[in-house]
Chains A and B, each alone.
Chain A
Amino acid sequence: MMVAGMLQWYGIFIVLLFVVGLYCIITTTNLIRLLIGIEILIKAVTLLFALAGWLTGNTALSQVLIITLIVVEVVIMVVAGGLIVNVYRHTKSIESRGIKNLKG
């Protein structure tokens, strides 16, 4: 059984991981790095799900939710990757500053 002190450590590191992802998303203009920031945010959420499952003793439900999250994550990454490749083909840049219109 997890002691409260350990829970505190997990809470702190999960929040800090979330802050790293958020900081990356806010400060970057590179589209691939934006995806990396989203990935780090999802990692923090995955850890939070696993922690919740461990705390409540219901690891089966938490594992199912994590698997669903991973499936959604992969699809987001694939589609976003395709979008970035298309943006690069049109603008020759992967900087978000370069995207000024939605012309095809």
Chain B
Amino acid sequence: MDIVNIFLLALLLIAAVWTVMRTRLIRAVIGLAVVSVLVAVLVFQMGSPIAAVFELSVCAGLISVIFFTTISFTRRLSYEQAVERRKERLGRFGYLPFVLLILGLLMLKYPLPQPMIMLHDTPVIGESLRVVFWDIRQIDLLGQVAILLAGAIGVIVLFKEIRK
């Protein structure tokens, strides 16, 4: 299982780098959806299945649709522009794999401090998700409703057609 997890983490990092280095935005958004799917699998493996479902449906699905919609409003680059951008991007993003490699090696050599809480002594708080969500974190729910309303009003204002 450990090997599988490390493989998934490596795949996640590769997908993230691929997403960042793509010239075409559509491909970058597809890469981002792949990143979301891999995050959902890892979150599921860490014992959070409901969060994984949210991650998969909302982040890999809805947010990709939002990105595609936004991109569809803009103009596509011509072939010459894309080639020019690719060269320009290579200059800026070409260092990224090396930065990651050096940082990864440094972190392997000098490990991060272990958490203060010892894993075996940790008291497991037994509340179910339902109790935490509806009883303990009610203020969070109110905040979520307020944020969603603010978002809806923001969308109405932003996408309003200007009357002349």
| Docked complex Cα distance between A74 and B117 (Å) | 33
Question: For chain B, what secondary structure do more than half of its interface residues adopt (helix, strand, loop), or is it mixed?
Answer: helix
Size band of the interface chain B makes with A: 35 or more
Inter-subunit contact A88/B129 (CB<8 Å): no
Measured CB to CB, the residues of B under 8 A from A are 2, 5-6, 9-10, 12-13, 16-17, 19-20, 25, 28-29, 32, 35-36, 39, 42-43, 46-48, 50-51, 54-55, 58-59, 62-63, 66-67, 69-71, 73-75, 92-93, 96, 99-100, 103-104, 107-108, 111-112, 114-115, 117, 119-120, 122-125, 127-129, 131-133, 136-137, 140, 143-144, 147-148, 150-151, 154-155, 158-159
Interface status of A102 (Cβ within 8 A of chain B): no
Docked pose: A63 CA to B131 CA in angstroms:
12
In contact, A17 and B103 (Cβ under 8 angstroms): no
Tell me which residues across on chain A come within 8 A of B150, comparing CB atoms.
75
Q: Quick one: given A7-B114, A37-B20, are A1 and B120 in contact (CB under 8 Å)? A: yes
List which A1-53 residues lie within 8 A (CB) of chain B: 1-13, 15-17, 19-21, 23-24, 27-28, 30, 32-33, 35-37, 39-40, 43, 46-47, 50-51, 53
